[in-house]
């Protein structure tokens, strides 16, 4: 009988990175619910857009609404102009509190996505808590879809196909992507069609403490004290963690049974304290009559895929590529 190891086996490079991220983000969060943005910027290395190909991918930024700092970074792979590609709209993680498309890790991973899938990747900058609480982040995400639906022909390359659009996100970004997908189902967009949802280690929760949350209490990057702080910073005053934004399959869940909700790929890691909530999400999607696939990585951690030195990171990118290909092939069959 094979037993799962009690701790993840990670290279020293990854361990050091995780330790630094955890320690410095903890230091930036204050017990009164505020964030020391100036301090956090010391570790959040920012990468500018690059119109010259880097690893065969160019990038540039487009501002939608400067008053709320709503913008996106477009990553374009170097492919023949007659090769039509899908559009992946990506929402970054960070507990709704930290990071942006310009953060070094997310710039790098979106660049890999664009090159490996290949696809045009739109990485969204949305407002952050605690300065901006729910539903600001969902409003920003959906407004990017509305903008692309109306202006995609002038903003995106000619070979970008918005009728083959994939929503994607990790952690808080996966939470955001789910709620944006629900809004998109009700939107009646004429140009943009969401064909699939790539949901990587979703940041969901609830009032209940799950078995994984209790067993992995001192986990890297994500832990109960950290998630509790983030939910309190994100939610309106008086709300608890069974709010529909948090516990998407719980007592206040939005019923999606009657919606044309996109096929969803749910990614779960064995050493992620959120894994029980993520598996419930997958089960809820199936119970709601939606197509969903569960991808499990039993021996790794939350946010594993942003560390390219981990073999699981490359495996996941290939699985996402296959998922996108499958979603797009169904459109062609129809």
Please state whether beta strands 194-200 and 160-170 pair in parallel, antiparallel, or not at all (unpaired).
Answer: parallel
Alpha-carbon dihedral of residues 308, 285, 243, 196, nearest 10 degrees?
50
Residue 171 annotated to the active site: yes
Closest by CA to 174, choosing from 259, 264, 234, 114, is 264
Residue with the two structure tokens 């407004």: 143
Query: Out of 171, 199, 219, 223, which one is annotated catalytic?
Result: 171
Q: How many CA atoms lie within 13 A of 320 on its CB side?
A: 31
Residue 22 annotated to the active site: no
Residue 264 CA to residue 282 CA, distance in Å, equals 8
Q: Which of 67-89 are b and which e, b meaning 16 or more Cβ less than 10 Å from the residue's Cβ? A: eeebbbbbbbbebeeeeebbbbb
Q: What distances in angstroms separate CA 229 from CA 46, 68, 241, 301, one per listed residue?
A: 25, 24, 11, 20
* In 42-141, beta strands by DSSP E: 57-65, 70-77, 85-91, 120-125
Asked if residues 273 and 224 have their Cβ atoms less than 8 Å apart, the reply is yes
Contacting residues for 79 by C-beta, under 8 A, at least 6 apart: 85, 118, 159
Residue 318 CA to residue 198 CA, distance in Å, equals 13
DSSP per residue, 87-106: EEEEE--STTTS--TTBHHH
Query: Out of 107, 143, 272, 276, which one is annotated catalytic?
Result: 272
- Helices 104-116 and 311-333 cross at an angle (nearest 10°) of 50
Query: Out of 92, 178, 179, 302, which one is annotated catalytic?
Result: 302
Question: Which residues are catalytic, by number?
Answer: 171, 272, 302
């Amino acid at each position: 009988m094979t037993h799962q190891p009690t701790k993840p086996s990670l290279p020293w490079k990854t361990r050091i990175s995780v330790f630094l991220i955890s320690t410095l983000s903890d230091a930036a969060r204050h017990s009164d619910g505020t964030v020391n943005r100036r301090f956090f910027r010391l570790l959040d290395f920012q990468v500018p857009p690059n119109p010259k190909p880097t690893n065969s991918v160019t990038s540039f930024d487009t501002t939608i609404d400067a008053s709320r700092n709503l913008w996106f970074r477009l990553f374009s792979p170097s492919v023949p102009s007659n090769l039509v590609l899908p559009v992946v709209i990506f929402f970054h993680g960070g507990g709704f509190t930290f990071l942006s498309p310009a953060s070094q890790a997310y710039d790098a991973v979106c660049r890999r996505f664009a090159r490996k899938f290949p696809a045009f990747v739109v990485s969204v900058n949305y407002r952050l808590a605690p300065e901006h609480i729910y539903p600001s982040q969902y409003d920003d995400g959906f407004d990017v879809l509305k903008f692309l639906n109306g202006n995609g022909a002038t903003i995106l390359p000619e070979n970008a196909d918005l009728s083959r659009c994939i929503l994607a996100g990790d952690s808080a970004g996966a939470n955001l992507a789910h709620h944006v997908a629900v809004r998109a189902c009700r939107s009646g967009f004429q140009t943009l069609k969401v064909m699939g949802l790539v949901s990587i280690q979703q940041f969901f929760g609830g009032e209940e403490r799950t078995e994984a949350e209790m067993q992995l209490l001192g986990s890297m990057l994500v832990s109960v004290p950290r998630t509790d702080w983030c939910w309190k910073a994100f939610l309106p005053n008086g709300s608890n963690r069974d709010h529909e934004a948090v516990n998407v399959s719980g007592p206040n869940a939005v019923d999606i049974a009657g919606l044309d909700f996109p096929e969803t790929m749910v990614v779960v890691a064995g050493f992620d304290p959120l894994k029980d909530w993520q598996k419930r999400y997958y089960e809820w999607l199936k119970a709601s009559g939606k197509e969903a696939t569960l991808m499990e990585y039993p021996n790794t951690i939350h946010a594993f895929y942003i560390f390219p030195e981990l073999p699981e990171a490359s495996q996941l990118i290939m699985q996402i590529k296959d998922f996108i290909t499958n979603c797009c092939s169904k459109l062609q069959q129809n």
